[in-house]
Structure 1
Amino acid sequence: MLEQQSAPSMLLLLFWLCDGSRTAASPGFLRLPAQTRTASRPHVTAARLSHDSLIASVDKTRKRRCAQRSPRTVFIIDTATDMNGITKSRFEVFSNSDEALINKKLPKELLLRIFSYLDVVTLCRCAQVSKAWNVLALDGSNWQKIDLFNFQTDIEGRVVENISKRCGGFLRQLSLRGCLSVGDASMKTFAQNCRNIEHLNLNGCTKITDSTCISLSKFCSKLRHLDLTSCVSITNHALKALSEGCRMLENLNLSWCDQITSDGIEALSRGCISLRALFLRGCTQLDDTALKHLQKHCPELMTINMQSCTQITDDGFVSLCRGCHKLQMVCVSGCSNITDASLTALGLNCQWLKILEAARCSHVTDAGFTVLARNCHELEKMDLEECILVTDNTLVQLSIHCPRLQALSLSHCELITDDGIRHLSSSVCGQERLQVVELDNCPLITDITLEHLKSCQRLERIELYDCQQVSRAGIKRIRAHLPEIKVHAYFAPVTPPPSVHGGGQRLCRCCVIL
Structure 2
Amino acid sequence: MRGHDRINNCLPDELMVEIFKRLDSKSTRDACSLVCKRWLGLERLTRTTLRVGASGASELFFKLLSRRFTNVKNVHVDERLSISVPVRLGRRHLNDQFADAALLFLRSHDETERSNVADVVESYSLSDGGLAVLGEGFPNLEKLSLIWCSHISNAGLRSLAESCMSLKSLDLQGCYVGDQGLAAVGECCKQLEELNLRFCEGLTDKGLVELTARCGRSLKSLGIAACAKITDASLEAVSSHCQYLETLSLDSEFMHDSGLLAVARGCHFLKVLKLHCVNVTDETLRTVGRCCLSLEELALNSFRRFTDMGLHSVGNGCKSLKSLTLTDCNFLTDSGLGIVATGCKQLTHLEVNGCHGIGTVGLESVGKSCSNLTELALLYCQRIGARALLEIGRGCKFLQALHLVDCSNIGDEAIISIAKGCINLRRLHIRRCYQIGDKAIVAVGRHCKALTDLSLRFCDRVGDRGLIAIGKGCNLTDLNVSGCHQIGDSGIIAIARGCPQLRSLDVSVLQKLGDMVMAKLGEGCPLLREIIISHCRHITDAGLSHLVKNCSMLETCHMVYCHGITSAGVATVISSCPNIKKVLVEKSKVSERTRRRAGSVISYLCVDL
TM-score scaled by length of structure 2: 0.60
Choose the corresponding residue for 2:412, options 392, 405, 409.
392
Instruction: Return closer, same or farther for 1:242/1:40 CA change in 2, 3 Å cut-off.
Output: closer
User: What's the secondary structure of 2:457's corresponding residue?
Assistant: coil
User: What does residue 311 of structure 1 align with?
Assistant: 331
Unaligned 5+ runs, structure 1: 10-35, 49-80, 92-113, 123-133, 495-508
Aligned partners of 1:297, 1:120: CA distance in 2, in Å?
36
Aligned partners of 1:450, 1:475: CA distance in 2, in Å?
7
How many corresponding residue pairs?
401
- What letter corresponds to residue 489 of structure 1 in structure 2? S
Q: State which drifts further: 461-470 or 273-282.
A: 461-470
Instruction: Return closer, same or farther for 1:459/1:39 CA change in 2, 3 Å cut-off.
Output: closer
User: What does residue 169 of structure 2 align with?
Assistant: 145
1:409/1:437 contact within 8 Å kept: yes
Structure 2 residue 183 is matched with structure 1 residue 167: no
Choose the corresponding residue for 1:434, options 429, 441, 451.
451
Query: In terms of Rg, which structure is larger?
Result: 1
User: What does residue 356 of structure 1 align with?
Assistant: 376
User: What does residue 282 of structure 2 align with?
Assistant: 262
User: What does residue 420 of structure 1 align with?
Assistant: 440
Cα offsets for 1:84-143 (capped at 9, x unmatched) = 94513698xxxxxxxxxxxxxxxxxxxxxx975764489xxxxxxxxxxx9999463x21
User: What does residue 463 of structure 1 align with?
Assistant: 480
User: What does residue 207 of structure 2 align with?
Assistant: 186
User: What's the secondary structure of 1:4's corresponding residue?
Assistant: strand
Instruction: Return closer, same or farther for 1:266/1:164 CA change in 2, 3 Å cut-off.
Output: same
Instruction: Return closer, same or farther for 1:136/1:268 CA change in 2, 3 Å cut-off.
Output: closer
Instruction: Return closer, same or farther for 1:8/1:377 CA change in 2, 3 Å cut-off.
Output: same
Choose the corresponding residue for 1:208, options 207, 215, 230.
230
Aligned partners of 1:311, 1:329: CA distance in 2, in Å?
21
Cα offsets for 1:49-81 (capped at 9, x unmatched) = xxxxxxxxxxxxxxxxxxxxxxxxxxxxxxxx8
Structure 2 residue 342 is matched with structure 1 residue 322: yes
CA-CA distance at 1:45 after TM superposition: 4.4
Q: Superposed, which structure 2 residues align to 1:236-385 within 5 Å?
A: 236-255=257-276, 257-385=277-405
CA-CA distance at 1:232 after TM superposition: 1.9
User: What does residue 447 of structure 1 align with?
Assistant: 464
User: What does residue 20 of structure 1 align with?
Assistant: none
- What letter corresponds to residue 172 of structure 2 in structure 1? L
User: What does residue 113 of structure 2 align with?
Assistant: none
1:207/1:231 contact within 8 Å kept: no
User: What does residue 51 of structure 2 align with?
Assistant: 3
Aligned partners of 2:344, 2:221: CA distance in 1, in Å?
24
User: What's the secondary structure of 2:294's corresponding residue?
Assistant: coil
1:239/1:267 contact within 8 Å kept: no
Instruction: Return closer, same or farther for 1:389/1:143 CA change in 2, 3 Å cut-off.
Output: same
1:464/1:490 contact within 8 Å kept: no
CA-CA distance at 1:171 after TM superposition: 1.6
CA-CA distance at 1:44 after TM superposition: 4.1
User: What's the secondary structure of 1:295's corresponding residue?
Assistant: helix
Unaligned 5+ runs, structure 2: 1-48, 71-92, 109-137, 147-158, 514-532, 537-557, 560-609
User: What's the secondary structure of 1:439's corresponding residue?
Assistant: strand
Cα offsets for 1:141-162 (capped at 9, x unmatched) = x21222333xx32432222111
CA-CA distance at 1:411 after TM superposition: 1.5
Instruction: Return closer, same or farther for 1:239/1:441 CA change in 2, 3 Å cut-off.
Output: same
User: What's the secondary structure of 1:176's corresponding residue?
Assistant: strand
Choose the corresponding residue for 1:198, options 211, 220, 224.
220
Instruction: Return closer, same or farther for 1:390/1:139 CA change in 2, 3 Å cut-off.
Output: closer
C-alpha RMSD of the superposition: 3.2
User: What does residue 252 of structure 2 align with?
Assistant: 231
CA-CA distance at 1:226 after TM superposition: 1.0
User: What's the secondary structure of 1:387's corresponding residue?
Assistant: coil
Cα offsets for 1:11-64 (capped at 9, x unmatched) = xxxxxxxxxxxxxxxxxxxxxxxxx6446544444599xxxxxxxxxxxxxxxx
Instruction: Return closer, same or farther for 1:251/1:118 CA change in 2, 3 Å cut-off.
Output: closer
Aligned partners of 2:284, 2:453: CA distance in 1, in Å?
38
TM-score scaled by length of structure 1: 0.71
- What letter corresponds to residue 147 of structure 1 in structure 2? D
Instruction: Return closer, same or farther for 1:234/1:422 CA change in 2, 3 Å cut-off.
Output: same
Identity of aligned residues (%): 21
User: What's the secondary structure of 2:509's corresponding residue?
Assistant: strand
- What letter corresponds to residue 412 of structure 1 in structure 2? R
User: What's the secondary structure of 1:301's corresponding residue?
Assistant: coil
Aligned partners of 1:138, 1:447: CA distance in 2, in Å?
62
Aligned partners of 1:314, 1:291: CA distance in 2, in Å?
11
- What letter corresponds to residue 54 of structure 2 in structure 1? S
Instruction: Return closer, same or farther for 1:119/1:451 CA change in 2, 3 Å cut-off.
Output: same
Q: Detail structure 1 runs of 4+ shifted over 6 Å in the superposition.
A: 134-137
1:115/1:136 contact within 8 Å kept: no
Instruction: Return closer, same or farther for 1:457/1:175 CA change in 2, 3 Å cut-off.
Output: same
Structure 2 residue 509 is matched with structure 1 residue 487: no
- What letter corresponds to residue 479 of structure 2 in structure 1? I
2:389/2:415 contact within 8 Å kept: no
